[in-house]
C-alpha cells in the first residue's frame, strides 16, 4: 500500500470510527433522556386516569366496591365496604389494597373499611414527586375528608412504607385518629439498633436514582418474588396467584419508579420525623412486628417497629407476631384480626 492509499485508509477508518462513536453516544444519552421523558409522560397520563365507580365484588361473601377520588393533585383508587366507624388500611411495598384481602371481610362486619392504593401504587396516579410522609398523608386526609364521616375520627392501620404515611397523618391530624396500628416498619431517622445503621441492602439500592427501575424492568415479578419468599416465615401465605396480581400492578408503567421513590424520600422523612419527635404522639399506638425473616438471617431480636416508635409516641404497645415474617396481614390474618379486635375494643368475627 503506497503512502496515498495508506492515508486514505486511515482517513476512512477514522471517519467510520467517529460515526460509530457518535451513534453510540447518541443512543446512550437518548436512553438517559428518554428515561426522564417517559416518567414525565407517565405522570401526565396518570393524572387523567378514568374513574372506576361502584364496581362491586365480594371477598368471603362480603361486598366491596372500587372508587376513584381526586385528592392533592392526583387520582387515588380505593376500595370500600362495610358499615360502622371508619377504618383506613394502608399497604406497603411492593403491594396495593389487595394486601388486606384477608383482613377486610372481618373488619367490614363492624366498620366502614377504606383501603386506598397509595400514590404510585396499584391504580392510583404515578406522579414524579410527593412520596414523603407529609405529602402522602395529605393524600389520605383529603380522601377521608371527601368521604364525609361527619368529622368522626378514624382507626388507622398501616404496614411497611404505608406506616410512614400513617404516622405523618396522625401527627398532622391527631384529633382525626382514634387509634393507630403500625406493622413491621422502622422509621427513618429512628432506625433501631437491631435493624442496623442503614437498614437492609435494598434500602440503599432503591434510593439509587434511576438504576433500580432500569435493572428491574422486564423482571418485575422475579424481583418482588424474592421479597415475598425471603421475608416470609410462611411463604405459602402469598400464593403464586397473589404474586401474579402484585407483579401485574408493579409492572404497570411508572409503578416501579414510584415505589422506589418512597425509599428515596427516606432522608426527607427522617427530617420530618425528627422534627415531629419534639411533640410525640399521645394517642394509643399498637406496633405489630414479625418474628422471623429468612432473607435477613432468621430471627431479628425485638420488635423494631415498636422500638422505632418509642421516640415518636408516648403510648406504644409492642406485640411480636408469632410464626410470621414481614407480611403480617397475609401470614397471620387470624392473629391480626384478634389484635385489632382487642385494640379497637369491638368484637370482630373470627377473633
Q: The CATH number of the domain where 98 resides is what?
A: 3.40.50.1820
pLDDT of the residue at 41: 38
248: which 3 cell numbers?
401485574
> Quick check: 348 and 107 in contact, CB under 8 A?
yes
22 and 170 together in one domain = no
Position 349 in a domain: no
209: which 3 cell numbers?
436514582
Position 94 in a domain: yes
pLDDT of the residue at 17: 35
Position 351 in a domain: no
pLDDT of the residue at 193: 79
Residues 246, 99: Cα–Cα separation, whole Å: 9
128 and 56 together in one domain = yes
pLDDT digits (tens, 9 = 90+) for 124-180: 999 999 999 999 999 999 999 999 897 899 999 999 999 999 999 999 999 999 999
pLDDT of the residue at 49: 41
Position 110 in a domain: yes
- Can you state the angle between helices 133-147 and 162-172, rounded to 10 degrees? 70
Position 350 in a domain: no
Residues 68, 229: Cα–Cα separation, whole Å: 32
Position 316 in a domain: yes
1 and 123 together in one domain = no
pLDDT of the residue at 287: 98
162 and 279 together in one domain = yes
| CA 342 and chain centroid, separation | 26
Tally the C-alpha atoms within 13 A of residue 66's C-alpha that lie toward its C-beta.
16
pLDDT of the residue at 19: 37
126 and 99 together in one domain = yes
Residues 300, 340: Cα–Cα separation, whole Å: 24
260 and 327 together in one domain = yes
Position 99 in a domain: yes
Range of the domain at 135: 52-344
163 and 35 together in one domain = no
141 and 105 together in one domain = yes
pLDDT of the residue at 197: 77
Q: Domain count of the chain?
A: 2
Q: Which of 241, 240, 260 is nearest to 250 (CA)?
A: 260
pLDDT of the residue at 37: 31
Position 95 in a domain: yes
34 and 56 together in one domain = no
Q: Which of 32, 163, 59, 291 is nearest to 171 (CA)?
A: 163
223 and 328 together in one domain = yes
pLDDT digits (tens, 9 = 90+) for 280-325: 999 999 999 998 888 777 666 668 899 999 999 999 999 999 999 9
26 and 98 together in one domain = no
| Phi (first) and psi of residue 313, to 5 degrees | -150, 155
DSSP collapsed to 3 states, the chain: CCHHHHHHHHHHHHHHHHHHHHHHHHHHHHHHHHHHHHHHHHHHHHCCCCCCCCEEEEECCEEEEEEEEEECCEEEEEEEEECCEEEEEECCCCCCHHHHCCCHHHHHCCEEEEEECCCCCCCCCCCCCCCCHHHHHHHHHHHHHHHCCCCCCEEEEEECCHHHHHHHHHHHCHHHEEEEEEECCCCCCCCCHHHCCCCCHHHHHHHCCCHHHHHHCCCHHHHHHHHHHHCCCCHHHCCHHHHHHHHHHHCCCCHHHHHHHHHHCHHHHHHHHHHHCCCCECCCEEEEECCEEHHHCEECCCCHHHHHHCCCECCEEEEECCCCCCCHHHHCHHHHHHHHHHHHCCCCCCC
- Full pLDDT tens readout for the chain, 351 residues: 544 344 333 334 333 333 333 333 333 333 333 333 343 333 333 333 444 567 999 999 999 999 999 999 999 999 999 999 999 999 999 999 999 999 999 999 999 999 999 999 999 999 999 999 999 999 999 999 999 897 899 999 999 999 999 999 999 999 999 999 999 999 999 998 777 778 899 999 999 999 999 999 999 999 999 999 999 999 999 999 999 999 999 999 999 999 999 999 999 999 999 999 999 999 999 999 998 888 777 666 668 899 999 999 999 999 999 999 999 999 999 999 999 999 999 655 544
pLDDT of the residue at 151: 84
141: which 3 cell numbers?
386526609
> Quick check: 286 and 309 in contact, CB under 8 A?
no
Residues 250, 245: Cα–Cα separation, whole Å: 9
Residues 97, 325: Cα–Cα separation, whole Å: 19
28 and 56 together in one domain = no
Amino acid at each position: 500500500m503506497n503512502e496515498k492509499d495508506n492515508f486514505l485508509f486511515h482517513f476512512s477508518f477514522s471517519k467510520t470510527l467517529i460515526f460509530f462513536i457518535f451513534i453510540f453516544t447518541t443512543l446512550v444519552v437518548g436512553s438517559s433522556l428518554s428515561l426522564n421523558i417517559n416518567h414525565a409522560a407517565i405522570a401526565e397520563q396518570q393524572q387523567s386516569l378514568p374513574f372506576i365507580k361502584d364496581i362491586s365484588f365480594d371477598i368471603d361473601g362480603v361486598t366491596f366496591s372500587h372508587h376513584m377520588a381526586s385528592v392533592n393533585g392526583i387520582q387515588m383508587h380505593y376500595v370500600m365496604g362495610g358499615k360502622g366507624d371508619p377504618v383506613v388500611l394502608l399497604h406497603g411495598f411492593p403491594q396495593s389494597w389487595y394486601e388486606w384481602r384477608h383482613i377486610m371481610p372481618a373488619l367490614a362486619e363492624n366498620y366502614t373499611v377504606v383501603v386506598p392504593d397509595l400514590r404510585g401504587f396499584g391504580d392510583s396516579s404515578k406522579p414524579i414527586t410527593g412520596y414523603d410522609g407529609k405529602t402522602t398523608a395529605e393524600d389520605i386526609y383529603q380522601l377521608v375528608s371527601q368521604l364525609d364521616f361527619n368529622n368522626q375520627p378514624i382507626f388507622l392501620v398501616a404496614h411497611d412504607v404505608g406506616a410512614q404515611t400513617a404516622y405523618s397523618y396522625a401527627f398532622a391530624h391527631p384529633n382525626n385518629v382514634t387509634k393507630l396500628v403500625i406493622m413491621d416498619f422502622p422509621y427513618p431517622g429512628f432506625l433501631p439498633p437491631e435493624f442496623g445503621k442503614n437498614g437492609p441492602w435494598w434500602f440503599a439500592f432503591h434510593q439509587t436514582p434511576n438504576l433500580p427501575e432500569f435493572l428491574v424492568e422486564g423482571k418485575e415479578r422475579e424481583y418482588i418474588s424474592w421479597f415475598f419468599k425471603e421475608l416470609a416465615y410462611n411463604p405459602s401465605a402469598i400464593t403464586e396467584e397473589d404474586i401474579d396480581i402484585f407483579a401485574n400492578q408493579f409492572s404497570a408503567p411508572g409503578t416501579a419508579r414510584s415505589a422506589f421513590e418512597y425509599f428515596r424520600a427516606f432522608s426527607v422523612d427522617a427530617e420530618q420525623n425528627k422534627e415531629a419527635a419534639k411533640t410525640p404522639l399521645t394517642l394509643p399506638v399498637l406496633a405489630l412486628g414479625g418474628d422471623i425473616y429468612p432473607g435477613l438471617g432468621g430471627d431479628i431480636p425485638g420488635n423494631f417497629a415498636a422500638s422505632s416508635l418509642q421516640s415518636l409516641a408516648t403510648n406504644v404497645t409492642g406485640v411480636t407476631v408469632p410464626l410470621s415474617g414481614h407480611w403480617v396481614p397475609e401470614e397471620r390474618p387470624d392473629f391480626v384480626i384478634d389484635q385489632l379486635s382487642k385494640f379497637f375494643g369491638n368484637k370482630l368475627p373470627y377473633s
